[in-house]
Amino acid sequence: MHYMMILLPIVYLLGNGYIFWRLWPMMSAMPIWGKVACSIIFWIVALLLVITILMREVTLPQWLSRAMFSVGSTWVVAVLYMMIFLAITDIVKLFLPSFSYGFVSALGATVLLLCYGYINYRSPKVETINIAIDKPLSCDSLKIVAVSDIHLGLGTGKTAAGRYVELINAQHPDVVLIAGDLIDNSIKPVEADHLEEELNAINAPMGVYLVPGNHEYISGIEDCERFLKKTQIVLLKDSIITLPCGLQIIGRDDRMNRRRKPLTHIMELADVRKPVIMLDHQPYEIAKKDSLGVDIQISGHTHRGQVWPLNILVDNLYEQSHGYKKWNNSHVYVSSGLSLWGPPFRIGTNSDMAIIVIKSKK
């Protein structure tokens, strides 16, 4: 996984270089000052997302921070598909030397694909999962709404947060479980938009529970905890809570905390004779949890790569990269994310939310 953190930035820079090289002949008629200005603008935009992230703790006007983040993150995905479409036009030109619309064709195809990706991102998939367990519940059934990776911040602001809360409330859940990355890269835009107002509008009689994700640590876990005290959300960090119906919810701290408790110690907190749900942001050690008496696991983190072809890579990195799967003893749901990080596009993947209905066989 660590080598990907090195490889992807290199590929991104090479991709920008390739696009700039293809763009340069189109500036041949410009005066030298025009070429210099266009070149500077190109590379500022190419690095804008990195600049925005590095400046996340700098106080800037909200409109400027959001504009920088939106343009920079959109550019990242645009570069990916421009590279692919430009390569295709290069191949076409080998067989049709007279073809001279390569850059314009690639640009048009990229814009159309991004429009589709944005529409798809705005249309989360809602999946209903019915689970019958062999352990006793004191209620006939329990309806859980499970979400992950909302990433409140510059990318997901007040309007989007309100839209997600409406979607959650429309399911009339008994309890809402958030499997990490509620906050994006900084708590500042979350507090500036007073997003506690949206979070406090979630209707769930048995409560709203959250485990930390890696982005809660990126944003500053202490700052996130302080913000959550303004909300109804209960943060579970290597801790357990039992609902009135007898269901136990175990919340693991994220892997970003190297001092989090071992999984075996976490399981000692639970009575495995009763139903156990485990929230763990990153879907590792699924087979191990399955052997320790976890009935249901809910995770997120993967986003399933967000856009093709990264979904193919992510599918091969995790035991389970997304969706629902029944293991030997456990029911596991890995969310692709109700929202997402960075660019607002879903191409080859879906934003999602699960309605988990639990009934006891006993």
Whether residue 1 has pLDDT greater than 60: no
Model pLDDT, residue 228: 96
pLDDT level of residue 8 (50, 70, 90 thresholds): confident
Between 350 and 8, the more confident residue is: 350
Q: Which amino acid is at 354?
A: A
pLDDT level of residue 311 (50, 70, 90 thresholds): very high
59-101, pLDDT tens digit by residue?
778 888 888 888 999 999 999 999 999 989 888 888 888 777 8
| pLDDT, mean over the chain | 90
Model pLDDT, residue 301: 95
Whether residue 2 has pLDDT greater than 70: no
Whether residue 234 has pLDDT greater than 70: yes
Reduced to 3 states, what is the DSSP secondary structure of residue 36?
helix
Whether residue 362 has pLDDT greater than 70: no
pLDDT level of residue 177 (50, 70, 90 thresholds): very high
pLDDT level of residue 333 (50, 70, 90 thresholds): very high
Domains of the chain as residue ranges with CATH: 2-121 (no CATH), 125-360 (3.60.21.10)
Q: Determine the average pLDDT of the residues in 110-115.
A: 96
Q: Determine the average pLDDT of the residues in 164-182.
A: 96
Model pLDDT, residue 221: 94
User: Is residue 70 within 8 Å of residue 52, measured between CB atoms?
Assistant: no
Model pLDDT, residue 238: 93
At which residue do the structure tokens 């109700």 appear? 338
Q: Other CB atoms closer than 10 Å to residue 144's CB: what's the count?
A: 27
Whether residue 56 has pLDDT greater than 80: no
- Listed in sequence order, the DSSP H helices in the chain are 2-23, 32-46, 48-54, 62-95, 102-121, 158-169, 188-192, 196-199, 214-219, 221-228, 263-267, 286-291, 310-315
User: Full-prediction pTM beyond 0.85?
Assistant: yes
DSSP 11-34: HHHHHHHHHHHHHGGGGTTS-HHH
Q: Determine the average pLDDT of the residues in 256-271.
A: 88
Range in 91-100, 118-127, 161-170 the model is least confident about = 91-100
Reduced to 3 states, what is the DSSP secondary structure of residue 53?
helix
Whether residue 361 has pLDDT greater than 80: no
278-298, pLDDT tens digit by residue?
999 999 888 877 777 889 999
